[in-house]
Amino acid sequence: MSKNKRQRLEVDSKELSAIVERTRGTLGVEDFTKLKAALDTLAFLTAELQAKGASIARLRKLLFGAPTEKTRAVLEEAEKKPPGGPEAKQEQKARRPGHGRNGATAYTGAARQKVRHATLQAGDACQGCLKGKVYPLEEPAVLVRVTGMAPLAATVWECERLRCNLCGEVYTAAAPEGVGTQKYDESASAMTGLLKYGTGLPFHRIEKLQEGLGVPLPASTQWELVKEAAQKLQPAFEELINEAAQADVLHNDDTTMKVLDLSKEQLQAAAADAEEAEQGRTGVYTSGIIATTAERAIALFFTGRQHAGENLADVLKRRAAQLKAPVQMSDALAANTSGDFKSILANCLTHARRGFVDVVNDFPEECRFVLETLKQVYRTDALAKEQRLTAVERLALHQRESGPRMKQLEDWLAEQLTERKVEPNSGLGAAIKYMRKHWQKLTLFLREPGAPLDNNVCERALKKAILHRKNALFYRSERGARVGDTFMSLIHTVELCDGNPFDYLVALLRHHEHVAEEPARWLPWNYRQALDELRASTTP
C-alpha cells in the first residue's frame, strides 16, 4: 500500500461520542467542552450532507449564507445564466450620470451657510442684456465639502495664574463660561456608546484610534463613560419598553451571544454533570424585538439566558388590559413562542421561501413556480407601502390580488405530495412539507389587518448584536450586556425613526434629570419638542 494512500475508517457517531466522553478525566474542563462542541459540529455537517446530498456550494451556503436571495438572481443561478439579463442592462443604461451618489439633502447633519452674490442683489440690472432685472431663484447652487475630524476631540484651557511677590497669593483666571468642571462632556459618552454599540467598534480599537489622533481615551475610561451614561439613559429605555408593549405588531427572534461570567457557569455545570448541563438552560442569547405601529417602529434588545419568546412575554406584561392581542411575527422555532403570553401568531414567509431557494439548482422548474408566485405577493405588499394604505386597505388589496395566487400555490403544494410528483424525503419535499405545515400562520396577512409578510425587520436589527459579537467577541459581564442592550435599543430605534442617534443620546444625557421626571416626552420621535420647550422656558 502506498504511503500517500489513506485508509478509510468508518466510525459511528455514537462510538465517537463514547471516545470523547472517556477523555473527560484526562482533559481539562475547557478543553473537553471545546472538543465536544467540535464533535457536535462535525455530526451536524455529516447529517446535512447525508440527508440533503449537499454539494460544496450548498455546504458553503449552509455555513456562510447566500449573498442574495432575490428571485431573479436565484433563478439565473439555477439556469446557469450570466447575472444581469437584458432587463438589467437596459436599467443600467437608463441610469442618469451620478446615480447612487448622495445629494445635498442627504447631509442632514451638515452645517449650512448662505453665500450672497459678490456684486448683485435682487432688483439689480442684468449685466448681460442690460435691460432686465435679476431676481432670486428658489433653488440655490449647492456645493458640498466634507472634512475629517476625530471621533472625540479635546481642548486644553490654559488659565493664566498671577502670584503676589509679597504675600504669595495666587490669582487664577476663570475658565470660559460653559466649560464646566467635568473632564468628559456628555457628547464624549454619546460618541463612545455610538461607536461601540452602534457601529461595533471594540473599546481597544477606539483606544488605538484616539491614541493615534493625539486624544488618548483608554478602554477602561470608555467603559466607565458608557456605564454611567447607561444609568442616565435607563428611564428612556424603560419607556421604550412601555411603548412597545402597546404596539399592534411585534417581531421577535434571537441570536447566540457570549457573556464571560455566564460562560464560566456553563463550564462549571459541565464539569459537575454533563448530562444535567445538556438538559438545562446553558445557552446565552440576545433577543431582538421590533414593535411597529402605523406611526413608528421601536427596537428592543435583551441579552441573557431567556429566549426571544420569554423576553417578549416580559414586555407584554406591560400591555394595557383593554387592548386586543397583538400580531406576533417570528419564524416557526419554539423558542420564539416559549413565553406565557397571548398573541395572533404569524410565521415568516421568507423562511418558508428559503427552503425552495436552497434546492433551486436541483428542482429549477418547481422552485420557479413558487418563487415567482411569492415575488408577485411581495410586489403587492410593496405597492401597499408605496401608496401608504391603511392596515384595512392593505388587507383588502392582498385579499384581492394575493389571495388567488396563494390559493393556487396551496393547491400546487398539495398536488406535489398527494400525486407523488415529489419524493417527500427530498430537499424539495421538505420545503413543501414545511410550508404546508405552517400555511395558516404564513398566510395570516390575508386575514388579519397589519400582519406582516416576514420577520426581515427583526433579522436586520439583530445584525447590530451580531456585529458586536463578531468584533468584540463577548460581553464581560451581565452588567455589560445590559449596558449594550440599552444603547443598542435607543440607537436602533432612532435609526428606525430616521433620526440622528448622536444628537438624541447627547440630548438625553445633558437633560437626564428632565428625562427621569417625564421619560415619555423624551422619546426619539418627540424629544426635539421637549428640547424646544425647555429652551423657551429658560430663555429670559
pLDDT tens digits along 331-365 = 989 999 988 899 999 999 999 999 999 888 888 88
- Residue 493 in any domain: the answer is no
Adjacent-strand bridge partners of 419: none
Asked whether 436 and 414 are in contact (CB, 8 A), the reply is yes
Domain count along the chain: 1
Determine, yes or no, domain membership for 50: yes
Instruction: Decide if 27 is inside a domain.
Output: yes
Kindly report which listed range (13-22, 295-304, 406-415, 474-483) carries the lowest average pLDDT score: 13-22
Is 33 a domain residue? yes
- For residue 28, give its domain range: 16-60
Highest-confidence range of 19-33, 140-154, 372-386, by mean pLDDT? 372-386
Neighbour-count burial of 305, counting CB atoms closer than 10 A to its CB (0-12 exposed, 13-18 middle, 19+ buried): middle
Given a cut of 60, whether residue 50 has pLDDT beyond it is no
pLDDT tens digit string along 197-255?
Answer: 999 999 999 999 999 999 999 999 999 999 999 999 999 999 999 999 999 999 999 99
3-class SS of residue 94: helix
Ramachandran angles phi, psi of 91, nearest 5°: -65, -40
Residue scoring higher pLDDT (97 or 418): 418
SS3 for 292?
strand
- pTM for this entry: 0.79
Is 110 or 445 the better-scoring residue by pLDDT? 445
- Cα(368)–Cα(34) distance, rounded to whole angstroms? 42
pLDDT above 70 (res 7): no
Closest CA to 422 of 333, 355, 351: 355
Amino acid symbol at 68: T
User: Is the distance from CB of 197 to CB of 187 less than 8 angstroms?
Assistant: no
Long-range own/partner contacts, residues 104-113 (CB < 8 A, 24 or more apart): 104/142, 104/144, 107/144, 108/500, 109/500, 109/503, 110/144
202, HSE (Cβ side, Cα atoms, 13 Å): 12
Q: Would you say residue 475 lies in a domain?
A: no
Domain assignment present for residue 119? The answer is no
How far apart, in whole angstroms, are the C-alpha atoms of residue 540 and residue 533?
13
The owner of cell 488659565 is: 159
Q: Look up cell 410550508; give the residue.
A: 435
Residue 325 pLDDT > 70, yes or no? yes
- 53 inside domain: yes
Q: Is residue 231 part of a domain?
A: no
Give me the helices (H) in 79-216, please. Answer: 86-94, 186-193, 203-212
Residue 10: predicted pLDDT:
61
The string of pLDDT tens digits covering residues 130-154 is: 888 888 888 888 888 887 888 999 9
Query: Cα dihedral sign for 461, 466, 471, 477?
Result: positive
